[in-house]
Homo-oligomer: A and B are copies of this chain.
Amino acid sequence: MSSLDSVLSRLDDRLDGALDHLKALIAIPSISTDPDYAGACRQAAEWLKKDLAEIGFEASVRETPGHPMVVAHHDGAGPDAPHALFYGHYDVQPVDPISEWNSDPFQSEIVERDGRQVITGRGAADDKGQLMTFVEACRALIAETGTLPCRVTILFEGEEESGSPSLLPFIEANKEELKADFALVCDTNMWDAETPAISGGLRGLVGEEITIHAADRDLHSGYYGGAAANPLQILSSILGAMHDETGRVTIKNFYEGVNETPDDIKKSWDALDLTPDGFLGSIGLSKPSGEAGRSIAELTWARPTAEINGISGGYTGEGFKTVIPAKATAKVSFRLVHDQDPDAIRENFRHFVESHLPADCTVEFHPHGGSPAVQLPYQSSLLTTAKQALTEEWNVEAPIIGMGGSIPIVGTFQNELGMESLLVGFGLADDRIHSPNEKYGLTSFHKGMRSWARILTALARRGS
């Protein structure tokens, strides 16, 4: 029996013990957005520190202006072993509306749901269940082999559900301590219940609010209509010109830094059978919008977007009012891919707006954050090694997919610490994270632990 086999056997044999650990962590109501639960957040951090210390990590609870961080180190197989930084978060979403829960959100139960065994509770999936797959893998590896195949640093934060205000300052202040060869993040989903997935790219995000001002007061459209500028009309005209007929964004230099997806990756995405009917049918649509001639996978993972997220202006109540408003506002956001520069996108959008603005009017811009996309090289050996390990565990090839959304920490790891991130998670789309009756599949938990044991072992073999 190889040492990996014995580790995997141990994980099989002690699944109940691992579930008891997870239940104990879920029982701590570490809701980060509610000040009443600040004590519980600290308690969760202390619980994790103690657990990691028991395994053999040098673990500490570290203060921030908000909820504390947990940082833990293990030297693993020694200075020549590759060094992994594992990231997760111990804080959870609020539980409202509590009346919609079928059981106590903080008293986990093992129940059957839709034919599968699951563990219930707030944070069961997001992110306590997911982070414990890694902790349990470490526990088993150390118990069976006396050490870890890699050097491992663990970083758990307690503010992920509150926008992570302390995370970037903490990383900047502790760069040397946190720097590793690569990062491991366990906060994403599988492709489906049988197929794990690796996220090879995350889109970036730029948010911008624009307000068009015209007259210094609201006007009556009978008296002034036809002669006075209408900010709603100007706003519509500007935002309506943001896309051409083929769905391409018309802002100058918008596609600078956007790469074409390699053919073999496109082919692997096509094999996923992510069809317009399947992807859009469930939300009442059938035809992809956006750039013509691109697949759903490309459109949502590998192409940038310009979206209007909100418009307000004029009279919007019951009935009608023939007003020409003094101003009109829109919230606009851009999903970025590859090497698009958030600052340049914002700048180019502002120029676009200004260049369409009539003489008399003014525009006010208000930035709402920006983060670049993260794209791992599709041939990165971090990805291919993890992919092989996952395939061995799940007996099916793990696709390297994109993510339409953003996980800012991944960009921070890349930009602040110069590290690639491996995003592997075992959540499922129906885990009801952020909603009542959150759950995590026992298969996700069990095979997730086994997957991390395989991945850490494989990455150690690959070398740093």
| Interface, chain A (partner B; CB < 8 A) | 203, 205, 207, 209, 214-217, 219-230, 232-233, 235-243, 276, 279-280, 283-291, 296, 299-300, 303-305, 307-316, 319-325, 328-331, 333, 335, 358-360, 368-369, 403-406
For the complex, what is the distance from the CA of A117 to the CA of B321, rounded to whole Å?
Answer: 35
User: Which residues of B sit under 8 angstroms from A368, Cβ to Cβ?
Assistant: 319-320
Q: Are B283 and A216 in contact (CB under 8 A)?
A: yes
| Alpha-carbon distance A330/B303, docked complex (angstroms) | 30
CB distance from A258 to the nearest CB of B (A): 12
Q: Give complex CA distance A273, B296 in Å.
A: 60
The quantity of this chain's copies bound in the complex is 2
**Distance between Cα atoms of A368 and B331 in the complex (Å):** 28
Among the listed B230, B239, B243, B309, which residue makes an inter-chain contact with A289, where contact means beta carbons less than 8 Å apart? B230
Within the complex, which residue of B205, B214, B225, B335 is in contact with A307, where a contact is CB–CB below 8 Å? B225
When A and B form their complex, which 8 residue pairs have the shortest distance between CB atoms, in order from nearest?
A240-B240, A222-B405, A216-B284, A310-B314, A237-B240, A312-B316, A232-B308, A236-B239
Q: Quick one: which of B225, B286, B304, B310 contacts A232, CB cutoff 8 A?
A: B310
Min Cβ gap A191→B in Å is: 14
Q: How far is the CA of A235 from the CA of B226 in the complex (A)?
A: 21
**Main DSSP-derived SS at the A contact region:** mixed
In-complex Cβ contact of A238 among B240, B242, B328 (8 A): B240
Q: Quick one: which of A226, A237, A240, A322 has the most chain B CB within 10 A?
A: A226
Cβ–Cβ contact A404 & B308, under 8 A: no
Q: Kindly identify which residue among B224, B314, B316 contacts A283, using a CB–CB cutoff of 8 Å.
A: B224
With a cutoff of 8 Å between Cβ atoms, the chain B residues found around residue A205 in the complex are 222, 322
Q: What B residues does A300 contact at CB under 8 A?
A: 223-227
Given A215-B280, A215-B284, A320-B333, 11 more contacts at CB 8 Å? Answer: A220-B405, A225-B404, A226-B290, A227-B280, A228-B280, A229-B285, A233-B243, A287-B359, A310-B325, A311-B313, A311-B314
Do the beta carbons of B214 and A335 come within 8 Å of each other?
no
CB distance from A233 to the nearest CB of B (A): 5
In the assembled complex, how far is the CB of residue A323 from the closest CB belonging to chain B, in whole angstroms?
Answer: 5
Residues from chain B with Cβ under 8 Å of A230 in the complex: 289, 307-308
The answer on a CB contact under 8 Å between B303 and A315 is no
A406 to chain B: which residues have CB within 8 Å?
Answer: 222
The minimal Cβ–Cβ distance linking A346 to chain B, given in whole angstroms, is 13
Contact indicator A322/B207 (Cβ below 8 Å): yes
Expressed in whole angstroms, the Cα–Cα distance for A405 and B207 within the complex equals: 40
Instruction: Give chain B residues whose Cβ lies under 8 Å from the Cβ of A321.
Output: 309-310, 331
CB distance from A193 to the nearest CB of B (A): 19
Q: Tell whether, in the assembled complex, residue A229 and residue B289 are in contact, meaning their CB atoms are under 8 Å apart.
A: yes
Bound together, the chains give a CA A323 to CA B308 distance in angstroms of 8
Cα–Cα distance between A4 and B203 once the two chains are bound (Å)? 84
Q: Which B residues touch A311, using CB under 8 A?
A: 232, 235-236, 311-314, 316, 328
Q: Are B285 and A404 in contact (CB under 8 A)?
A: no
**A344: shortest Cβ distance to chain B, in Å?**
20
Cβ contact within 8 Å between B209 and A320: yes
Residue pair A308, B229 in contact (C-beta under 8 Å): no
Q: How far is the CA of A365 from the CA of B284 in the complex (A)?
A: 20
CA distance A313 to B310 in the complex (A): 5
Contact A219 B312 (CB under 8 A): no
Q: A310–B315 contact, CB under 8 A?
A: yes
Q: Are A239 and B233 in contact (CB under 8 A)?
A: yes
- Please tell me if the beta carbons of B308 and A314 are within 8 angstroms of each other in the complex: yes
Contact partners of A284 in chain B: CB under 8 A: 214-217
